[in-house]
Structure 1
Amino acid sequence: MSSSRRVAVVTGANKGIGYAIVRGLCKQFDGDVILTARNEGNGQEAIKKLNGEGLKPMFHQLDLDDVGSIDRIKDFLQKTYTGIDILVNNAGIAFKMAATEPFSQQAEITVATNFWGTLNVCKGLFPLLKPHARVVNVSSMASQYAAKKCSDEMKSRFIAPDLDQAKVEQLMTEFVNSAKDGSYEKKGWCQSAYGCSKIGVTLLSFAQQKEFDKDSRADIIVNACCPGYVDTDMSSHKGTKTIDQGADTPLYLALLPPNTTSPKGNFVSDRKIQTWP
């Protein structure tokens, strides 16, 4: 029997910004909060720490790179709830500056998780979104920096009025293929595997909102955001923000009140809509 309780799902949440987003939702959202992580042990450890603060999130395993794992959480959510109220796509990876893997490999692996993995979660879970649901795709200012370094011709594709999900998928496929054959700079891309993967996440968010504007379910809002430069493993702990400060904008977007008109289909940092690119 599915529960009419509201539910929020956060990907990549066993540490860092995702963990802080779960913590914030447990305090501010009236419903169940599901912390997901690729590794069950790490996820359960995070739950235990939050329980120590008197918070009661639930755990479900989720690996963006495994379609079977996405199917399993979809089945669980379908059986347990009448639909999803909040989805925060936070999971992502980045190679370190000192990484020795060739750029072609970094591009393929980074885009596989950050873009295709996020897209696959959306494909699996978007049919479960309820009217008034909120989707937050955690992107990065790196997407903006990378976009600005791309050629003018490439930039024009990023802001094309007819940009849809298929065109975003095509852009990401082209980026990885050009990284593999060494033609990426000639084709107008810049040398940032992480930045270009996050261009995909930001553009995907714009395209998804266009689709939801035509959806029969009212008031579903998707935004992309940059949490800022946060002290996490990903920044090698060089970031200046705490994880709770990094979680502020994602939480703000996840908890936007019903019938919000702005931000909606935007790229947001420090709670402000950013010009793109």
Structure 2
Amino acid sequence: MSSSRVAVVTGSNKGIGFSIVKSLAKNFDGVVYLTARNEDLGLKAVKDLENLGLSVQFHQLDIDDQESIDKFAKYIKEKYNGLDILVNNAAIAYHHRENDQTSEIERVENTIRINFTATLNLCNALFPLLRPHARVVNVSSRAGFLSNIKDHKWIERISSKIFTIDETVELLKDFIQLSKTGQHVDLVSNCYAMSKIGINLLTKAQQVLFDKDPRQDIVVSSCTPGYCATDMTSYTGPLTPDQGAETPVYLALLHKNWNGPKGEFWADKEYLDWKNIENKQKNN
């Protein structure tokens, strides 16, 4: 069993995830795992990094597949018996294209399932492996600002307290239920935004639990990478993926015994109150 420090980045064979792995390979003193659903694409990404003189490891991981999650968690436990950095980057976003026959209900269910539920499932599998001083980064978006909620009752519901994980799950279940009658469109700008609101609530709920955990100094953060030119944005963003990786990597490498914000949302390496209703949406 290796005693190496270990970092894992989900959905990292391309885009911002790839840039996060690239930066960690340069700046993290340990083993960095690039993960992807498709093994061939993942191995190609590893080769691309090797051509840059960087050494990373690959493991297949589909966060939407519990068997894949369990297999990966078992691998990390048996090989390292611990994890030091987890960057939850994997996510989807639908774009309205003429040939896309996906129904609105399917879009909602798929987006919430992958962006939120699958991320939570991975956390449930890997959190027991986190070592003291571990860092977890949940890649979110400015789309997850409370200001993107249009219904005053839901604004009050979300802003009135610190949610537990179970309460966050129930909130998103309620959103999915509303989508079955089309009422969700009066609630929030789109289902991607709702999935990222869920991630921001989840981040705080996870930190509340870690604050009571006997393992010292585990910090969970959510953040926006900014509006980057990737396939997620149809390559319309003004920022490069490398620029988008800067804040997630900054949070992944927070120094030991961090006494700054925990369980909070960050943008441009600074804490930002995502629940402030005065915040206006900016892309990502």
Give the TM interval when normalised to the shorter protein. Answer: over 0.9
How far is 1:180 from its partner?
Answer: 1.6
| Structure 2 residues not aligned, in runs of 5+ | 276-284
- Once the two structures are superposed, residues 112-159 of structure 1 have per-residue CA deviations (whole angstroms, 9 ceiling, x without a partner) of 100001000000000000010000000001111x64333222122222
Q: Which one-letter code corresponds to 1:172 in the other structure?
A: L
- Once the two structures are superposed, residues 185-222 of structure 1 have per-residue CA deviations (whole angstroms, 9 ceiling, x without a partner) of 46xx2140111111111110011001111111110000
Divergent runs of 4+, >6 A: none
Is residue 2:130 matched to residue 1:124? Answer: no
How far is 1:101 from its partner?
Answer: 2.6
Show the counterpart of 2:211: 213
The two structures, once aligned, show a CA RMSD in angstroms of: 1.2
Q: Distance in 1 between matches of 2:200 and 2:149?
A: 16
* Contact kept? 2:133, 2:257, Cα under 8 Å: yes
Q: Which one-letter code corresponds to 1:127 in the other structure?
A: P
Q: Distance in 1 between matches of 2:239 and 2:36?
A: 23
- SS of the equivalent of 1:184 reads helix
How far is 1:272 from its partner?
Answer: 1.1
TM-score by length of structure 2 reads 0.93
Tell me the matched-pair count.
Answer: 273
Show the counterpart of 1:236: 234
Show the counterpart of 2:140: 139
Q: Distance in 2 between matches of 1:237 and 1:162?
A: 35
* Contact kept? 1:22, 1:33, Cα under 8 Å: yes
Q: Distance in 2 between matches of 1:135 and 1:150?
A: 30
Q: Which one-letter code corresponds to 1:221 in the other structure?
A: V
| Structure 1 residues not aligned, in runs of 5+ | none
TM-score by length of structure 1 reads 0.95
* Contact kept? 2:9, 2:89, Cα under 8 Å: yes
Q: Distance in 1 between matches of 2:271 and 2:33?
A: 28
* Contact kept? 2:36, 2:42, Cα under 8 Å: yes
How far is 1:9 from its partner?
Answer: 0.3
- SS of the equivalent of 2:4 reads coil
In structure 2, relative to structure 1, the CA distance for the partners of 1:162 and 1:231 (3 Å cut) is closer
Q: Which one-letter code corresponds to 1:131 in the other structure?
A: P
Show the counterpart of 1:183: 183
Q: Distance in 2 between matches of 1:202 and 1:73?
A: 25
How far is 1:100 from its partner?
Answer: 4.6
* Contact kept? 1:25, 1:33, Cα under 8 Å: yes
Q: Distance in 1 between matches of 2:38 and 2:157?
A: 37
* Contact kept? 2:11, 2:89, Cα under 8 Å: yes
Q: Distance in 2 between matches of 1:62 and 1:158?
A: 32
* Contact kept? 1:147, 1:199, Cα under 8 Å: no
Q: Distance in 2 between matches of 1:196 and 1:128?
A: 29
How far is 1:241 from its partner?
Answer: 0.5
- Once the two structures are superposed, residues 14-55 of structure 1 have per-residue CA deviations (whole angstroms, 9 ceiling, x without a partner) of 000000000000000000000000000100000000000111
